[in-house]
Amino acid sequence: MADTGIFATTLEVQEKAGANASSVANTEAYINSYMSQAESQINVDSEYNWSDVYSTLNVDVKKILTKAAASLAAIEVINYDPNAWSLETATFKINVLYTQYQDCVRLLRETDKGQIFVQEA
């Protein structure tokens, strides 16, 4: 099986999920599913279909999309078995990743200045 995500790779999601993640959910098959869900959510939340124009974007915008998608997919990996960590650790990891996701989406949809940057990218 190969990576099927557009915005991030399995390795990038695994790096964000960190050590001790479930050996079931931290696999390419599960992460491919999480990535397709994350990419759709990013497109909806940012009100723009980045998947359709991904190949035309510059590296800065692509890396924002990577960070957003990998963060959201890593939350799913952690959430599959949060008992792999203490509840406090799992909650902290999810909160950090969700904050990163929200920051990225805000950058992608923010005001005219942000849209000009993205359009010129």
Nearest CA to 85 out of 74, 93, 96, 95 is that of: 93
Q: What pTM was estimated for this model as a whole?
A: 0.89
Residues 78-113 pLDDT 10s: 999 999 999 999 999 999 999 999 999 999 987 545
* DSSP type of residue 23: T
Count of CA atoms in the C-beta half-sphere (13 A) of 40:
6
Give Cβ neighbours of residue 36 (< 8 Å, ≥ 6 apart). Answer: 4, 5
Residue count (the chain): 121
Q: What are phi and psi of 110, to 5 degrees?
A: -70, 130
Residues 38-55 pLDDT 10s: 999 999 999 999 999 999
